[in-house]
Structure 1
Amino acid sequence: MIPVSEALSRILSAFAPLPPETVALPDAFGRVLAADLRARVTQPPTAVSAMDGYAVRSADVANVPATLRCIGEAPAGRAFAGGIGPGECVRIFTGGPVPDGADAIVIQEDTDAEGERVTVREAAPAGRFVRAAGLDFQTGTVGLPAGRLMTARDIGLAAAMNIPWLEVRRRPRVAVLATGDEIARPGDPLGPNQIVSSNSLALGAMIRALGGEPVDLGTALDTRESLAQRISAARGMDLLLTTGGASVGDYDLVREVLGDRGLALDFYKIAMRPGKPLSFGRLGEVPVLGLPGNPVSAFVCGLLFLKPVLRRLQGLEADEGPALTARLGAALPSNDRRQEYRRATLSRDHGGELVATPFANQDSSVMSLLSRADCLIVRPPFAEASDVGERVEILSFEGGFSRL
């Protein structure tokens, strides 16, 4: 068995960012930029007012009250034709271009208007409520860098930058193959010894949440013919993801059939719990990640290995940062040589600190506890017994895992 860190390093070394494709701006949400986005316009294109009021010369309102003559107006999108001189002002609205000669805005609440006569009751220094040209960005400014995962806010910025089309990384196509005579799809008739399969659907949802496109290859029976037929459909995919058939039982044929078709196996078995029988290799041009059949094991391995692969394929930086920690809400026994990931709930104590309380049942087939969990407690190999209140590392299902 190899350590988790070594397994991840060897898996990631087999992948590189996918080529770009061009999409319309409305379709760029959740996609990763393949090139810098540079503004095609200056925003605002000219100095504009930040408030409704009057455009004035600051020198004319240095001493108040001051009476000025209003000579026109400047609504948003239409400039006042001409400039203002001493003793003059222009009625202006938010977003309206500041007329030549004006250098400040007096808000309308600080004025009294009667016909063309406007009495200013509050002084306005130069620059007051004026948005300078290019305050937001200028033509050629890099507003969004390559490698950025596009959010709703970024879509708005790109629109303001006058960018209708942009280059993004192609979505990774991941073929998902479940195996085993004992599993049936949700809603299908169940035989006396069958269970309902959840892996394909859960992993498909994970792939979509992480920006990929799942391709469901269905369920292969425990026969060479069925496995070979399903596996052949993965040609041209960016990754083949299998679940089940990765251990050493008499009917676990996945690795054997893949081997017959030319699988170059990199490794098999990882020193972790759950998820020990995980394998990785390459079938021609298609990388193959073999996940365990137990649903919790498959999901945990997906978080630890599939997520980083999908990030790399989309040109995203490694999802690394300071380790999250919490106080332990229940005592834990010492650990063996395998790195362990325990499902747990999160709460806060009276001091506001996070408390991670592991479930007593950590069986890798119990999906209900995974659904109820808020995090995974990470326990390194040979960790000593831990008491309540000790600090432990956690992988939270919030933040980067919020859609998983």
Structure 2
Amino acid sequence: MISINEAQQNILVHVSPLETEKVSVFQGLNRVTPEDHIAPWDIPTADNSAMDGFAFSHATIEDNRLKVTGFLPAGESRTVPVPPGEAVRIMTGAPIPPSCDTVVPIEDVEENGDWIRLKSGIKAGAHVRKRGEDIQLGNVIIPAGTVLRPQEIGMLSAMGTTALSVYRRARVAILATGDELLEPGSTPAPGKIINSNSYSIAAQVLDAGGDPVLLGIAADTLDATCEKIKAGLNADMLVITGGVSVGDRDFVKMAIEELEGTINFWKVNMKPGKPLAFAMLQGKPIFALPGNPVAAMVSFELFVRPSLLKAMGHRRIFRPTVRAALQESTANKGKRPHLVRGLVSIQNDRYHASTTGNQSSGRLSSLIQGNGLIQLAPETSHSQGDEVEVLLLDREFEMRTLAG
């Protein structure tokens, strides 16, 4: 068996970024840009008013009074200088007129006919947004490798971008194996179970930004397994659940070898998820995950998700980890590192973690009740309050609930 870290490194050297595609700027959300985006102009393109108010030359104020001689709405500009001692009514966003350098907000003046009086002193340059104070012509504003969030989409739009290149979404074929499986919508009979793995894995693919392709269920024969695997080669990578152990009807390894694929490793030193294989077939990565639901999802998080993100151009590909204090005593009596499903919270500025009860790899509810994986080294015991490493899984961690 190899370690989790060795398995991750072994896999990632076989994964390269996919080709790029052109999409509209809006469709670039949560995608990765392969190129630098350079400012084509200054933003703002000219000094402009940050307030609805009056623009004037600060040096020409007399007795805190100014005569109002014009109006400048947003969307228009003025080329004629404003005479000394005079002001122009101006709207937010309108360019500062020639000879003006300061804006006083409407609420800070008293109006009397064509005259205004400043209620209090104001600094020169107040309420003026300077040309280029946001971005400057020629600067790299969004570097290659950036994940495009709403704020990047807004900036690209401000820079006049209507379409851009991004790494394309990875297509991930998903195959379940086993004569005992039925598709959702069926009624379980004795000896039969519902195929939940394909749908949980598909959801994990979607959550990572990929496109899942469901291949259905392969019967427990070598020919059926080979045919399904060949169909999966139309995608960028293939994820198989079940059929990778040492049972009489576990045909996945045999099928990969029959199709002249190369199995890079089989079995990882971890719990849950020991019977896990990674292979390459016709240049496509194949992940053969355990059939137990929890083991399959945990294995996806550790090995498939980082590979999927790397393929789509991401540079940050691993979930965050934190040090958390245990809420109860716990132990790992086994000889493999144990990834215990846990619930992480923050109390008094410190992370805390508790287990989610029974850790059977068939209990999907243990993942539903938690938001992280507590990492326990082999043959270790921990007391309440001891700090352990926890891998965070939940994107909504520490978001506040709706009041009431």
- Shorter chain as denominator, the TM-score bin is over 0.9
Which of 383, 386, 395 in structure 1 is aligned with 2:382? 386
Partners of 1:341 and 1:366 lie apart in 2 by 14
Q: How does 1:254-269 map to 2 (within 5 A)?
A: 254-269=252-267
Q: Which runs of 5+ in 1 are unaligned?
A: none
Alignment partner of 1:354 is 2:351: yes
- Confirm or deny: 8 A CA contact 2:332 2:377 kept in the other structure: no
- Rounded Cα–Cα distance in structure 1 between residues aligned with 2:306 and 2:49: 47
Structure 1 residue 396 displacement after superposition: 1.5
1:320 is displaced (CA, Å) by: 5.2
- Alignment partner of 1:398 is 2:383: no
- 1:77-156 matches, cutoff 5 A: 77-156=75-154
Asked if structure 1 preserves the Cα contact closer than 8 Å seen for 2:332 and 2:376, the reply is: no
362-371 or 37-46: which moved more? 37-46
Partners of 2:316 and 2:132 in 1: CA distance: 34
Tell me by how many angstroms 1:400 deviates: 8.9
TM-score, scaled relative to structure 1: 0.94
- Alpha-carbon distance in structure 2 between the residues aligned to 1:67 and 1:252: 90
Distance 1:295 1:45 in 2: 56
Q: Quick check: 1:236–1:286 contact (8 Å CA) kept in 2?
A: no
Letter paired with 2:290: P
For 2:35, the equivalent position in structure 1 comes to 35
SS in 1 for 2:166: strand
2:401 matched to which residue of 1?
none
Classify 1:321/1:272 alpha carbon distance in 2 versus 1 (closer, same or farther; 3 Å).
closer
1:181-200 equivalent positions in 2, closer than 5 A: 181-200=179-198
Please list, as runs of the form range in 1=range in 2, the aligned pairs for 1:4-403 lying within 5 A after superposition: 4-61=4-61, 65-319=63-317, 323-349=321-347, 351-382=348-379, 384-399=380-395
The Cα RMSD (Å) is: 1.9
Residues 334 and 365 (structure 1), Cα distance of their counterparts in 2 relative to 1, 3 Å cut: closer
Asked whether the 8 Å contact 1:69–1:116 carries over to 2, the reply is yes
TM superposition shift of 1:265: 0.8
CA 1:264 to 1:311, structure 2 compared with 1: closer, same or farther past 3 Å? Answer: same
Contact kept in structure 2, 1:18 and 1:170, CA below 8 Å: yes
Task: Output the amino acid matched with 2:221.
Answer: T
Aligned-partner Cα distance in 1 for 2:396–2:34: 21
Q: Is the contact between residue 39 and residue 163 of structure 1 (CA under 8 Å) also seen in structure 2? A: no
Q: Tell me by how many angstroms 1:147 deviates.
A: 1.1
**Distance of aligned partners of 1:324 and 1:181 in 2 relative to their CA distance in 1, 3 Å threshold:** same
- How many residues align structurally? 399
Structure 1 position 235, deviation (Å): 2.2
Residue 254 of structure 1, CA deviation: 1.1
* Paired residue secondary structure (1:112): strand
Match for 1:51: what amino acid?
A: M
Give structure 2 stretches of 5+ with no counterpart.
399-404
- Looking at structure 1, the residues matched to 322 and 5 of structure 2 have their Cα atoms a distance apart, in angstroms, of 17
Structure 2 CA distance for aligned equivalents of residues 401 and 199 of structure 1:
24
Q: What letter is aligned with 1:360?
A: G
CA distance in 2 between counterparts of 1:392 and 1:39 reads 46
Instruction: Find the residue that maps to 1:266 and give its secondary structure.
Output: strand
CA distance in 1, matches of 2:251, 2:349: 51
